[in-house]
Structure 1
Amino acid sequence: MASQNNNQIATAIFQMLFELATGNYRFRKEMPAEENLFTKEIELLNHFANLWEEKIIHLHFPTPFYSFQSSIQHTVIINTKGQIQYLSPSFAFHLNYKPIELKETPIYQLLHKNSTDLLHNEINQLSESTIIHLIFVTTDNLYLPHFCSLLKLYPSELISINLITTMFQNIEDNNHLTTNPPAEPDDTILFNKIYNFISKNTEEQLPSTKEIAKQFGVNESKLKQGFKAHFNTSIYQCYNDIRLKKAFDLIQNTTLQIKEIAYSCGFNDYVTFSKAFKKKFGFAPANLKRPE
């Protein structure tokens, strides 16, 4: 049991290292209730993240709104017709198939309908390595979103598809990062504090912009305009996206009931949550594959 717990903590530390490497210095690992094998490492990483956040803010660099991981999880190789030629066994098991069942199977049969045309078009014009977002479908009709790298294997006509992450909203939402940071370093500090306030209070209803402005000693107009300048999104949209990202992670990585997750992420009822989730990700919360 202790070994299993240590493995889980090690995995969480590995995730934190990825997050830090991709610029997300807000990520923190909660300290365990009791001292364990990784207590010192967790403490050091959290301390480093705190120092890094302070330095970056004072260098007048806006907090990244999203981050991404880039570890390859599974690989499948197809021909130009989309038929599977080779695959890592883990790819088949990931979709609840046996490896032998997928040999020569058109990969399009394993994709959500929204992904089939996308992959077909990319294959037809593929000249160099590229990354696209695909949604795979398991045997029990659950959806598995992944970013995938596509690479043509010269001199053959085979194409390698590497599934590199399930946190699919992160990369495509990098356009939230501003390319023209505001001129005042003090403003950068202020709006990062406001962002932190929003991200740490997703279990409650978001206060009005008037209340937030009063709390941080800024007028409401500057609050709205400054936040938009830093993050290319409104305060409410930022709050909503953070809640939905948190819900996505909890659904995919815990066994909590989805309704319980919805309430813990600040939604008053499941129907509202389900509609917002589907609008954001393109499918219902119940369609995500969950831990056994």
Structure 2
Amino acid sequence: MHREINQKRMHSIRQMLLEMASGNFSQRIVRTEEDDELESLAVLINMVAEEMQETLFPKGYINTHHLQQSLNTLSFIVDENFIIHSTIPETYLVLNYDTTSLEGLEFVKILTDSSSQNFDRLLPTILLNEKVSTLSLCYLTSDQKEVLSLFSSISKISNENRFIIHSILADSTESDNNSEDVNSAFRQPKTRRDDARLMQQVYDYILSNLENPLPSLKELSKIFGTNEHKLKEAFKYFFNTSIYQFYNDERLKRVHLLIEQTNMPLKSIAYMNGFNTYPNFSKAFKKKYGYSPNDLKRDNDNL
């Protein structure tokens, strides 16, 4: 019986560490009456999470409506040693690198020291994960400025010893404005702040499940314990886009990079990114980019 209780406590600690690795510092491990090393570890982890939450998210509130208007996306294709094979044009602009200096570079070289150490520590878990690993990454520009990601995911490319790293981050030039917006937004009614936290969870859930078809609004509302109307309207309010449009835009960005930088069949890319049929995928791709997937030049020479 005692062993079973300890296993449950270990599970809680492990779950907490996973939440922190994905950037969620609001969760806490429930304390017990025990006075042992496990309890000491739980207390320490809770303290670290509290400090991180205060440091990264003052007052525990993120003004997502403001951030959505200044979001940047970084995407990388890396090999099994996490050497950068290719990236998207936005990466060079955001990180201030010339167009050839990133290829062949170790991915950890463009992270801050603390983020690099955290990445190395999580790497064994990332390599074992067959699905998507989520974590928080802090990038370093060529002129040594820090750029914190709001959300990052790492997923293995099917049948290849390569990975795709995808990060969403806010424009660092907006930081001063963000601080002012956070303070003013926090003065809003508690119900609005609660809505913001809920929508942040929905946002993170979508980014963690881009490879799956998007659940219906009814299913999503059940998952997050709210009603369909509130879910639809609140997401639109905070992120300035619909749930489906956000999901569709993010997976199409991922698809575009996979087509350019891998030799995977187009149908496989479509299915592994949540499209039920190839015609639906082709139609959505052409609508967003103005050309069909077949028209996109593939970088097979470097594979």
TM-score normalised to structure 1 length: 0.43
In terms of fraction of residues, the more helix-rich structure is 2
